[in-house]
Amino acid sequence: MDLNLDAPHSMGTTIIGVTYNGGVVLGADSRTSTGMYVANRASDKITQLTDNVYVCRSGSAADSQVVSDYVRYFLHQHTIQLGQPATVKVSANLIRMLAYNNKNMLQTGLIVGGWDKYEGGKIYGIPLGGTVVEQPFAIGGSGSSYLYGFFDQAWKEGMTKEEAEQLVVKAVSLAIARDGASGGVVRTVIINSEGVTRNFYPGDKLQLWHEELEPQNSLLDILNAGGPVPMAM
C-alpha cells in the first residue's frame, strides 16, 4: 500500500450550505488527506471572510487557503472604504474573480454563505472553473455525490434554524459514512441577523447508519431470517 506522503494536501470533503428562514447554516466534515494518510483529522474548513460572511473550502488545501486569505484581505479594505459590512454577493463575486481568472492553476470548490441587511441569508456555490450560482442550498466536495438524492427529498423552503442545522448535520454524517475522503467531526456555522454561532459534533456522537447499526434482534432471529420478501403483485 503506497501512502504517498508527498501528495499535495487535499480536502476530499463534504461541504454544505443551506438557507433557512432568517439566515444560513454552513456545514463541513474535518478530514484533510495527503494521499491515503489523514494529515489532519480535525481541520476547520469553514473560514471567516468577514463578520457576517463565511466560506466552506474543498479541493486543494493550499489553493483554497490562499484564495480565502486574498478575499479576506480585499473584503477588509472594501469594508473600510464602504463604511458598512460587505454583502454576501460582493464576497462571492471576489472569490469568483480569483477562481475564474486563475482557473488553469487552481483546483478548489467553494461555498460562500452569509447574512447581510439587503438580501438576508444567501448561499453562493463556486465550483471548479469559476461559475458563481446563487442557490437556496449548495453541496460540494467528494462526499456531495452521495447527497444529491437526499437533498432532493429532504430539502424544503422556510425551515427553522433548528431544522436547517439538523438537516446539515444529518447530511454531512451520511456523506462521512459513505465517502472515504470525508470523516472526523461535523462543524456547523449558523449566520443570521443576530450574529454567528459555531457548533461542533464529534464523530462518535453522530447517528449510525444502516450497516453500522447493531443487529437489533437476537442471533436466532438473524439466522432464521430469509432474504428480503419479494414484492407481491
Partner 1 sequence: MSQSSVDFPPKGGFSFDLCKRNDMLTQKGLKAPSFLKTGTTIVGLIFQDGVILGADTRATEGPIVADKNCEKIHYMAPNIYCCGAGTAADTEAVTDMVSSQLRLHRYQTGRDSRVITALTLLKKHLFSYQGHVSAALVLGGVDISGPHLHTIYPHGSTDTLPFATMGSGSLAAMSVFEAKYKEGLTRDEGIKLVAEAICSGIFNDLGSGSNVDICVITKGHKEYLRNYMEPNPRTYISSKGYTFTKKTEVLLTKITPLSERVKVVEVAGEAMEE
For the four alpha carbons of 82, 20, 18 and 168, in that order, the dihedral sign comes to positive
CB of 45 to partner 1, least distance (A): 11
Question: Does residue 6 touch partner 1 according to CB under 8 A?
Answer: yes
Q: Does 47 bind partner 1 (CB under 8 A)?
A: no
* Beta-carbon contacts of residue 27 (< 8 Å; ≥ 6 apart): 15, 16, 17, 18, 46, 56, 165, 168, 169, 171, 172, 186, 187, 188, 189
Under the criterion CB under 8 A, does residue 3 sit at the interface with partner 1?
Answer: yes
Closest CB 65 distance from partner 1, rounded Å: 6
| H or E element in which residue 122 lies | strand 120-126
Q: Does 34 bind partner 1 (CB under 8 A)?
A: yes
Q: How far is CA 56 from the centre of its chain?
A: 6
List the one residue out of 200, 199, 207 whose CA is nearest residue 177.
Answer: 207
Decide: is 40 part of the binding site for partner 1 (CB under 8 A): yes
Among residues 13, 19, 50, 87, the one annotated as catalytic is 13
C-alpha cell at 178: 459513505
SS3 content of the chain, % helix, strand, coil (to 5): 35, 30, 35
Q: Among this protein's residues, is 13 annotated catalytic?
A: yes
Tell whether residue 65 is a contact of partner 1 (CB under 8 A).
yes
Q: Which of 14, 19, 43, 58 binds partner 1 (CB under 8 A)?
A: 43
Residue 42 makes contact with partner 1 by CB under 8 A: yes
- Closer CB to partner 1, 59 or 113, in the complex: 59
Q: How many residues bind partner 1 (CB under 8 A)?
A: 17
Which stretch, 57-65, 122-130, 147-155, 224-232, contacts partner 1 (CB under 8 A)? 57-65
Q: Which DSSP symbol is given to 215?
A: P
The answer to whether 168 and 188 have CB atoms below 8 angstroms apart is: yes
Q: Is the CB of 65 or the CB of 135 nearer to partner 1?
A: 65
Residues with catalytic function: 13
- By CB under 8 A, name the binding residues for partner 1: 3, 5-6, 8-9, 32, 34, 37, 39-40, 42-43, 60-62, 65-66
